[in-house]
Amino acid sequence: MSDIRIRLMKSVVGAAEAAAVARVIEDGYLGMGSEVQAFEQDLSAFLGHERQVMAVSTCTAALHLALQACDIGPGDEVLCPTFTYVATFQAISASGATPVPCDVRADTGWLDVEDAAARVTPRTKAIMPVHYAGGIGDLDAVDALARRHSLRVIEDAAQAFGSSYHGELIGARGDIVCLSFDGVKNITSGEGGAVVTADPIIAERVRDARLLGVQKDTDKRYSGERSWEFDVVDQGWRFHMSNLLAAVGRVQLRRFEGEFKPRRIAIASRYARLVGATPGVRTLRQEYGPVVPFCFPVFIGGGKRDLVRDALAAEGIETGIGYKPNHLLTKYGGGAIRLPVAEQLYEEVLTLPLHPALTDAEQDTVVAALSRALERFPARERMHADVD
């Protein structure tokens, strides 16, 4: 395999982030303090001031804290799509609850809400839709299902920072929304995440639980103090964010509207136009603009995906397979049930390079290599019927 020339994903950071980090170092306190508070304020200004934002160490931690704040744990079930990164499932099992894998829709890769509805039991306590590739499915139907069965809705919005639904930003609406600022997401703080909610009880429980359950420790840290006399009533974790990372996140948030968002939308729209016309490839049904894409998956049928992936790798183009359905993993059932749409997407999916620093010329190289590979491997025996 040749060296990677075109990366699948990467952090796009530079002098402004470096200066922000240097400023925190000069200030002399790298842990959780006023910079984290400022990042939370910037995020709630971006999302709407009635939303409370709790910055944490990762989105996985955010999902875990959100579940715990809802008193969801052992014996409880949480509905979620199987076609997601394993973080969604690990966060649920970390809380002690059982993730219930549901199938997804072939056209969007998003939760099949009817399939989820059929899996509701008396133990179901929450539903966790995942905004695959930044796309938003039928959140209204999720809310309706949740109302019918008194479920909490915890959105795994790790891939959807900046996307919107019915004109409202993801995070600006909904029960509880979890964001990711990991190194390759739509904005990054190095590693990081946030819980966003308008529910003051959930907000307070998340604030305490991210700091070992020490009550009101957040207030102390934001005024540069420590708690010495305190009470703890719940299990807590070391899931808070540091000033160092918050400084990076604040710069990234300022760059989002003018730089990252338009570039991601432009790249995905161009892929949709160029690749969408190529025979043998299917793309997601997605409206870029409202959708700020995290990745660009294509679906290649006829058992050819791996051949195409190898051909691109030989030209130095890195691609991904997102995702192996979680119900196939040993910890989550080892394939004891069948979720046919997700399983087929897994066989066909190939994610193409997408990050704000990708140039048009690099994108042309990817598209040309993809069509060459598809011509080189003509449709063989169909191993699986193509998805409509």
Ligand X SMILES: *Cc1c(COP(=O)(O)O)cnc(C)c1O
* Nearest distance from C-beta of residue 280 to ligand X, angstroms: 27
Work out how close the CB of 179 gets to ligand X at its nearest, in angstroms, rounded to a whole number.
Answer: 8
Query: Which residues in 129-168 contact ligand X (CB under 6 A)?
Result: 130, 156, 158-159
CB of 355 to ligand X, least distance (A): 14
Distance CA 362, CA 6 (A): 7
Q: Which is nearer to ligand X, 193 or 280 (CB)?
A: 193
Site size toward ligand X (CB under 6 A) is 14
CB closer to ligand X, 194 vs 370:
194
**Cβ proximity to ligand X, 46 vs 89, nearer residue:** 89
Instruction: Starting at the earlier edge strand, list the strands of the sheet with 281-283.
Output: 281-283, 296-300, 349-352
Residue 214 exposure: Cα atoms within 13 Å on the Cβ side: 15
Q: Which residues contact 228 (CB under 8 A, 6 or more apart)?
A: none
Smaller CB distance to ligand X: residue 46 or 377?
46
176 closest CA partner among 150, 203, 147: 203
Instruction: State the CB neighbour count (10 A cutoff) for residue 381.
Output: 6
Candidates 54, 87, 211, 312; binder of ligand X (CB under 6 A) is: 87
When asked if residue 84 is in the footprint of ligand X (CB under 6 A), the reply is: yes
State yes or no: residue 106 binds ligand X (CB under 6 A): no
Amino acid at 235: Q
Active site residue 185: yes
Q: Which stretch binds ligand X (CB under 6 A): 38-46, 83-91, 221-229, 260-268?
A: 83-91
Scan residues 297-356 and list those touching ligand X (CB under 6 A).
none
**Positions 32 through 71 that interact with ligand X (CB under 6 A):** 58-60
DSSP-derived pairing of the beta strands 98-102 and 296-300: unpaired
| Contact residue for ligand X among 85, 299, 332, 346 (CB under 6 A) | 85
In angstroms, the Cα distances linking 91 to 203, 242, 357 are: 18, 21, 31
The one catalytic residue among 185, 220, 261, 324? 185
- One-letter amino acid at 217 equals D
Distance, CA of 313 to CA of 370 (rounded, Å): 11
Q: Which residues of 34-52 are buried (b: 16+ CB within 10 A; e: fewer)?
A: bbbbbbbebbbebbeeebb
Question: Is 197 near ligand X (CB under 6 A)?
Answer: no
Report the interface residues with ligand X, using CB under 6 A.
58-60, 84-85, 87-88, 130, 156, 158-159, 180, 182, 193
Q: Which residues are known catalytic residues?
A: 185
